[in-house]
């Protein structure tokens, strides 16, 4: 029996055109296979079949207009139909049943009678203990619970008690911050299995070589710079990870991903030197990269592509990029593309760096999405570049509050093991009180000024505390170490972080900036920039870390590497072998994605006929086609920050689902509609919410999955072009450095196509911003076939040939007809320009007209007017990319200048325009500088027009007139330019100005 399949609820749309029919009679289809594609001027969606079966007849054809209820096909399938019936039945049953349950529940809820009790007035203890005996009883009970049932039970009881008091009207105690002591008590610490003596020796050698490398470079050339203080404070934090926790990528395991703090790079080089991965020559060339044998200042995968994985030195980027990396890893796992191997993402950050909004801006996402694969280590050395991070407060406490508030697991590693006996001995509670009350400015001074100073100024505040340390020498007091320098404490914290489930972890480790640098740089304000150590300081550094170098060797700042058979080198290599290999190391074993067949976009190469559409819609159609390509479908990662509906992409919600780590726990309000808001654990769309920075980080994570997960993915991130580079330029720069592959789509682009929105939204420069990134290729196409050719080439170059480039393409929301692709223009589209049309009527003179994006159609219209009304011939060129033309011009000019004796080569622009007659007029929807870029490579009069100035809200026609890029202005300016060249009389331009009501006295748009 045949069943009719009709158009479901499609929202507010009526009479929508069918642009594709995807089935024919006789086809056997599965449930959810698409039957037709519908396209309005705002969106393009597929209609999936609600049933599986055989199509018996087709009731529609391409071009038909349909509405809700219009029959599309008849399908043979009795079985599913009966299933559907029983579903409908069920649906009806549910309501009364639910009602019953609600009623029952209501009856069981005990309604407490509200009794008016007299208001009690309690004694206010003012912070002091009004009943110490009672307090002791409570504490004893608590101790008993802890020893009998453990701290989790105690925590549960306390929470219950607090909830009870809250119900009675008391304030909840502030639990955002815990006392200024370690989160893990000594008795709960998991002990490191490592040999502490050897590990200390290795660490000392790494410290020495890292410092020596910076000092040597600066001896050679003081302008080279570098940092000693950052790594000096973080050495233990890295060492414990390297020796015990970080598992490398190999053929059995995907590898942990470590985001190293940029300024600690010298430490990573020093370790790699001991491991034999870097040579002494390379160390000698720290920060001297131009000859190709040097080491880059900071982690830059572009410069050291086999070593560094993550470009983080611009403060704040590491935090958010790693959060989205952790999220993307879970996305791949949940979509079934990656094995869950419990890999971790570790991120090292500076405490000063946490000032950056990007550092904290996405921490909510990490806890919301339960990213227990993410571990932050914040090196709290209490200093940034100029001075203390929070001199008047405590950065660790501040960060604890912020991260706990956001739902993270916070582990504070404040005090080293030497403090443990003191804390155990102090029954007065004064030691913790004193720890709590000191501010970071004081803590910094304690470590700069020595043991006697600490005795006097820290312990000396309370006589009982002074007494506590009375048997200790000043030297002993000085040795009281900070948690981040104690390998036992660090090990215990890392171990706990590794075992944490359901939450991301942040480790707040207290350290000393410039640890070991003595008077020249330990805990003093200039530490950060200390890159030279005098002889005396170097000798001190050697002695402090027991480096087996003679005085002479120290004075020569020699590196020290023990022999291959030494205990240290054997241990170090063995540890890394146990953990699977080297870190950091950048490799890729991703399989290329076969480029789609040429046929996939063939509709886009044809004329759209009467049908008008925007290039955004053309793109959505192409993506829909790609989702039908077996090789590509699962690899596409559409990324949108809350603008899917603006770009007509809501059809993707239903088709491929929105990624949601917990699936969809609610029935969406629009569930009856075709494009309902479908969230799914296996969802493919990354709907990011309103965060361009976050979306960009997802794009980077997806576009570098080929190296971080050995999976080639195709991220395509659509955004308002104005909120692209302008908003997230630093990320775009880092994306280039990281060799991200993928598409950035600047939608609703240009200054005059996005009508209405105004100054903040209208983009006239994103292409110029794109042009500064060396491996970014950008295009501003006008017609669907141009877009199709560009997209196909992008897929071929990035994902099939695996070139380390990315694409920026602008698309618009203006609807118009698209012509058929002219013959033989593919190469030109990709190179940046091709001859679109010639107007040859043997006119009085000729002109070359160049246009791109939204303004090409104005150029075409202007050419028609010039031909018809003024008898002027023209060649109309579609310039798909002034940026690509400039790159080519620059390359050829350089080559010619370097080969003065050879016959000069012609740039592509010259090849196009060299034999063509007439002056050149170019116009775009971007500021004039965009088109001006080709001026040096043209040996002819060249006039460029663009949209300089602030945007404003109005219709497209008025905006183009205002910015002087509409067809009338182009005609007028062309006539005027021809007059200036004495090719025609000036009267034509004067007449045109009158005819088109062009006001000569109107101020230039940049002044308005």
Ligand X SMILES: Cc1ncc(C[n+]2csc(CCOP(=O)(O)OP(=O)(O)O)c2C)c(N)n1
Residues lying near Mg ion in the complex (CB under 5 A) are found at 350-352, 381, 383
In terms of C-beta density within 10 A (0-12 exposed, 13-18 middle, 19 or more buried), how is residue 255 classed? Answer: buried
The one of ligand X, Mg ion, none whose footprint includes residue 678, by CB under 5 to 8 A per kind, is none
Selection from ligand X, Mg ion, none that 528 binds (CB < 5 to 8 A by kind) is ligand X
Q: Which is nearer to ligand X, 52 or 385 (CB)?
A: 385
Q: Which residues contact 681 (CB under 8 A, 6 or more apart)?
A: 334, 659, 660, 661, 662, 663
Least distance in Å: CB of 314 to ligand X? 4
- Considering the complex, what minimum distance in angstroms separates the CB of residue 192 from ligand X? 24
Positive or negative, the Cα torsion across 186, 189, 195, 200? negative
* Local structure of residue 295 (DSSP, 8 states): B
| Residues within window 15-74 making contact with ligand X, judged by CB under 6 A | none
Q: Do the beta carbons of residue 237 and residue 231 sit within 8 Å?
A: no
Q: How far is the CB of 443 from Mg ion (least distance, A)?
A: 13
Q: How far apart are the first and last CA of the chain?
A: 69
In angstroms, what is the minimal distance from the CB of 350 to Mg ion? 4
315 touches, from Mg ion, ligand X, none (C-beta below 5 to 8 Å by class): ligand X
Q: Is the dihedral of CA 561, 567, 570, 576 positive or negative?
A: negative
Could you tell me how many residues of this chain bind ligand X (CB under 6 A)?
17
DSSP assignment of 301-349: TTTSTTT------STTHHHHHHHHHHHHHHHHHHTTSS------EEEEE
Whether the CB-CB separation of 838 and 876 falls below 8 Å is answered with yes
Please, which residue, 618 or 700, has the CB nearer to ligand X? 700
Q: Could you tell which of ligand X, Mg ion, none binds residue 313, using a CB distance below 5 to 8 A set by kind?
A: ligand X
Between 257 and 399, CB nearer to Mg ion: 399
| CB of 240 or CB of 920, closer to ligand X | 240
Smallest separation, CB 388 to ligand X (Å): 10
For the bound state, the minimum distance from the C-beta of residue 248 to ligand X, rounded and expressed in Å, comes to 25
How are beta strands 806-810 and 776-779 bridged, if at all? Answer: parallel
The least CB distance from residue 528 to ligand X, in Å, is 6
b/e per residue, 134-167, with b = 16+ CB within 10 A?
eeeeeeeeeeebeeeeeeeebeeeeeeeeeeeee
* Residue 532 · residue 218 · CB < 8 Å: yes
User: Which residue lies nearer to ligand X by CB, 250 or 529?
Assistant: 529
Smallest gap, in angstroms, from Cβ of residue 523 to ligand X? 11
Q: Which residue has the tokens 């990528």?
A: 249
Contacts by 46-50, CB closer than 8 A, 24 or more apart:
46/22, 46/624, 46/651, 46/655, 47/7, 47/8, 47/72, 47/674, 48/654, 48/655, 49/5, 49/73, 49/75, 50/5, 50/8, 50/84
**Which residue is closest to ligand X by CB?**
350
263 counts as binding ligand X under rule CB under 6 A: yes
Phi, psi at 472, each rounded to 5°? -90, 145
The torsion of the CA quartet 914, 916, 919, 923, rounded to 10 degrees, works out to: -90
Binding positions for ligand X, 337-366, rule CB under 6 A:
350-353
Element of type H or E holding 574: helix 567-578
Told to check if 528 binds ligand X by CB under 6 A, we report: yes
Structure tokens, 681: 């654990």
Which one, 384 or 412, has the nearer CB to ligand X? 384
Q: Which is nearer to ligand X, 19 or 315 (CB)?
A: 315
Q: Least distance to ligand X from the beta carbon of 671, Å?
A: 45
Q: Which stretch binds ligand X (CB under 6 A): 79-87, 120-128, 265-273, 381-389?
A: 381-389
The least CB distance from residue 264 to ligand X, in Å, is 7
Between 315 and 791, CB nearer to ligand X: 315
Q: Which residues pair with 777 in a beta bridge?
A: 807
Residues 301-330 within binding reach of ligand X (CB under 6 A): 313-315
Tell me, residue by residue from 229 to 258, as one string, x for binding to ligand X by CB under 6 A and - for no binding: -x----------------------------
Window 592-631: residues binding ligand X (CB under 6 A): none
If one counts every other C-beta atom within 10 angstroms of the C-beta of residue 438, the result is 17
Candidate segments 15-23, 197-205, 379-387, 871-879, binder of ligand X by CB under 6 A: 379-387
Draw the binding track, 482-521, toward ligand X (x: CB under 6 A; -: no contact). Answer: -------------------------------x--------
- CB nearer to Mg ion: pick between 399 and 892: 399
For residue 473, the minimal CB distance to ligand X (Å) is: 30
In the list Mg ion, ligand X, none, the entry touching 230 (Cβ below 5 to 8 angstroms by class) is ligand X
User: Among ligand X, Mg ion, none, what does residue 390 contact (CB within 5–8 Å per kind)?
Assistant: none
User: Please, which residue, 230 or 748, has the CB nearer to ligand X?
Assistant: 230
CA distance 439 to 398: 12
Choose among ligand X, Mg ion, none what residue 496 binds, the Cβ cut-off being 5 to 8 Å by kind. Answer: none
Residue 508 or 649 having the CB closest to Mg ion: 508
CB of 234 to Mg ion, least distance (A): 9
Write out the H or E segment, with its range, that includes residue 216.
helix 196-220
d(CA 915, CA 187): 85
157 CB-near residues (< 8 Å, 6+ apart): 142, 145
Q: Decide whether 230 or 739 has the Cβ nearer to ligand X.
A: 230
Residue 384 sits in the site that holds ligand X (CB under 6 A): yes
Q: Please identify which residue in 37, 43, 296, 381 interacts with ligand X, judged by CB under 6 A.
A: 381
**Least separation, in Å, of the C-beta of 348 and Mg ion?**
11
The whole-angstrom separation of Cα 518 and Cα 569 is 28
Among 3, 383, 739, 762, binds ligand X (CB under 6 A): 383
Q: Which stretch binds ligand X (CB under 6 A): 137-145, 365-373, 377-385, 777-785?
A: 377-385
Cα(755)–Cα(750) distance, integer angstroms? 10
Question: Applying CB under 6 A, does 525 fall inside the site for ligand X?
Answer: no
- Tell the smallest beta-carbon distance from residue 354 to ligand X (Å): 7
C-beta closer to ligand X: residue 528 or 678 = 528
- Check if the beta carbon of residue 457 is closer than 8 Å to that of residue 446: yes
C-beta closer to Mg ion: residue 351 or 679: 351
The two structure tokens encoding residue 81: 């139909």
Specify the residue, 434 or 528, whose C-beta has the smaller distance to ligand X.
528
Residue 88 CB, nearest approach to ligand X (Å)? 59
Q: Is 689 helix (H, G, I), strand (E, B) or coil?
A: coil
Q: Which is nearer to ligand X, 317 or 965 (CB)?
A: 317
762 Cβ neighbours under 8 A, 6+ residues apart:
722, 750, 751, 752, 754, 947, 951, 952, 959
**Which tokens in the block code for residue 395?**
């950065």
Q: Are 348 and 234 in contact (CB under 8 A)?
A: yes
Contact 591, 712 (CB under 8 A): yes
Nearest residue (CB) to Mg ion, 350 versus 596: 350
Under the criterion CB under 6 A, does residue 447 sit at the interface with ligand X? no
With CB cut-offs between 5 and 8 Å by kind, which of Mg ion, ligand X, none does residue 353 bind? Answer: ligand X
Kindly state the smallest distance separating residue 347's Cβ from ligand X, in Å.
13
In the complex, minimum distance from the CB of residue 226 to ligand X, in angstroms, rounded to a whole number: 12
Q: Is 207 in the site for ligand X (CB under 6 A)?
A: no
For ligand X, the binding residues (CB under 6 A) are 230, 263, 313-315, 350-353, 379, 381, 383-385, 389, 513, 528
């Amino acid at each position: 029996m045949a069943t009719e399949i009709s158009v479901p609820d499609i929202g507010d749309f009526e009479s929508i055109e069918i642009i594709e029919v995807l089935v024919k009679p006789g086809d056997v289809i599965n449930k959810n296979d698409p039957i037709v594609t519908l396209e309005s001027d705002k969106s393009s969606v597929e209609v999936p079949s609600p049933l599986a079966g055989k199509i018996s007849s087709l009731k529609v054809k391409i071009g038909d207009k349909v509405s809700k209820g219009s029959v599309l096909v008849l399908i043979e399938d009795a079985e599913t139909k009966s299933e559907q019936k029983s579903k409908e039945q069920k649906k009806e049953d549910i309501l009364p049943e639910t009602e019953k349950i609600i009623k029952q529940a209501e009856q069981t809820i005990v309604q407490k009678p509200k009794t008016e009790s007299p208001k009690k007035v309690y004694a206010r203890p003012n912070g002091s203990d009004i009943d110490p005996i009672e307090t002791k009883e409570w504490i004893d009970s608590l101790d008993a619970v802890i020893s009998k049932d453990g701290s989790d039970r105690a925590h549960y009881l306390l929470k219950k008690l607090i909830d009870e008091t809250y119900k009675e009207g008391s304030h909840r105690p502030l639990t955002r911050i815990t006392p200024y002591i370690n989160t893990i008590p000594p008795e709960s610490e998991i002990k490191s299995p490592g040999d502490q003596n050897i590990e200390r020796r290795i660490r000392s050698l790494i410290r020495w070589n890292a410092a020596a490398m910076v000092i040597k470079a600066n001896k050679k050339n003081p302008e080279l710079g570098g940092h000693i203080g950052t790594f000096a404070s973080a050495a233990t934090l890295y060492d414990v990870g390297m020796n015990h926790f970080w598992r490398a990528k190999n053929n059995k395991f995907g590898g942990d991903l470590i985001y190293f703090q940029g300024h600690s790079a010298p430490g990573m080089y020093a370790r790699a030197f001991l491991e034999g991965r870097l040579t002494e020559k390379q160390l000698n060339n720290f920060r001297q990269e131009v000859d190709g044998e040097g080491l880059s200042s900071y982690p830059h995968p572009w410069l050291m592509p086999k070593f560094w994985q993550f470009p983080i030195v611009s403060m704040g980027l590491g935090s958010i990029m790693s959060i989205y990396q952790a999220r993307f890893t879970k996305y791949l796992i949940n979509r079934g593309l990656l094995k869950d191997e419990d890999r971790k993402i570790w991120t090292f950050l500076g405490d000063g760096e946490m000032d950056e909004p990007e550092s904290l801006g996405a921490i909510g996402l990490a806890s919301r999405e339960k990213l227990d694969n993410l571990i932050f280590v914040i090196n709290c050395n209490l200093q940034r570049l100029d001075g203390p991070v929070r001199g008047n407060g405590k950065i660790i406490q501040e960060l604890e509050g912020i991260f706990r508030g956001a739902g993270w697991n916070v582990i504070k590693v404040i005090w080293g093991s030497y403090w443990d006996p003191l804390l155990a001995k102090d029954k007065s509670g004064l030691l913790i009180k004193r720890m709590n009350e000191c501010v970071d400015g004081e803590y910094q001074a304690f470590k700069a000024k020595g043991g006697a100073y600490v005795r006097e100024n820290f312990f000396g505040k309370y006589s009982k505390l002074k007494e506590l340390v009375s048997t200790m020498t000043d030297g002993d007091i000085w040795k009281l170490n900070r948690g981040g320098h104690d390998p036992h404490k660090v090990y215990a914290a890392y171990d706990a972080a590794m075992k944490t489930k359901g939450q991301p972890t942040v480790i707040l480790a207290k350290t000393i900036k410039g640890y070991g640098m003595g008077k020249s740089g330990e805990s003093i304000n200039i530490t950060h920039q200390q890159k030279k150590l005098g002889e005396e300081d170097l000798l001190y550094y050697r002695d402090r870390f027991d480096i087996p170098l003679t005085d002479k060797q120290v004075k020569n700042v020699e590196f020290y590497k023990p022999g291959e058979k030494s205990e240290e080198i054997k241990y170090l290599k063995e540890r890394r072998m146990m953990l699977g290999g080297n870190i950091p190391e950048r490799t890729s074993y991703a399989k290329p994605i076969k480029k789609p067949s040429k046929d996939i976009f063939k509709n886009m190469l044809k004329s759209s006929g009467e049908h008008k559409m925007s290039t955004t819609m053309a793109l959505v159609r192409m993506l829909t086609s790609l989702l039908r390509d077996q090789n590509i479908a699962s690899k596409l990662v559409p990324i949108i920050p809350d603008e899917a509906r603006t770009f007509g992409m809501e059809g993707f919600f239903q088709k491929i689902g929105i990624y949601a780590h917990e699936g969809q726990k609610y029935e969406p309000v629009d569930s009856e509609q075709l494009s309902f808001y479908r969230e799914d654990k296996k969802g493919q769309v990354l709907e990011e919410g309103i965060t361009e920075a976050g979306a960009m980080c997802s794009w980077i994570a997806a576009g570098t999955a080929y190296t971080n997960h050995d999976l080639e993915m195709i991220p395509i991130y659509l955004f308002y072009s104005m909120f692209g580079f302008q908003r997230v330029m630093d990320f775009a720069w880092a994306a280039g450095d990281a060799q991200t592959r993928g598409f950035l789509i600047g939608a609703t682009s240009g200054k005059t196509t996005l009508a209405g929105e105004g100054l903040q939204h209208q983009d006239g420069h994103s292409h110029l911003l794109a042009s500064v990134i060396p491996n970014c290729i950008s295009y501003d196409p006008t017609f669907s076939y141009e877009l199709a050719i560009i997209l196909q080439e992008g897929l071929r170059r990035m994902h099939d040939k695996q070139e380390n480039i990315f694409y920026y393409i602008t698309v618009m929301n203006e609807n118009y007809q698209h012509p058929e692709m002219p013959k033989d223009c593919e190469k030109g589209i990709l190179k940046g320009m091709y001859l679109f049309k010639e107007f040859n009527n043997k006119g009085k003179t000729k002109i070359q007209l160049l246009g791109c994006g939204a303004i090409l159609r104005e150029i075409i219209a202007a050419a028609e007017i010039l031909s018809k009304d003024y008898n002027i011939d023209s060649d109309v060129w579609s310039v798909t990319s002034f940026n690509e033309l400039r790159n080519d011009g620059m390359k050829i000019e350089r080559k010619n200048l370097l080969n003065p004796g050879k016959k000069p080569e012609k740039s592509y622009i010259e090849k196009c325009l060299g034999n063509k007659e007439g002056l050149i007029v170019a116009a775009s929807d971007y500021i004039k500088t965009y088109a001006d870029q080709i001026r040096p490579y043209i040996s002819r009069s060249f006039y460029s027009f663009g949209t300089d100035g602030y945007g404003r809200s109005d219709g497209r026609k008025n905006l183009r007139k205002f910015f002087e890029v509409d067809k009338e202005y182009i005609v007028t300016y062309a006539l005027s330019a021809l007059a200036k060249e004495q090719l025609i009389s000036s009267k034509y331009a004067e007449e045109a100005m009158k005819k088109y009501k062009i006001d000569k006295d109107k101020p230039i748009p940049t002044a308005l």
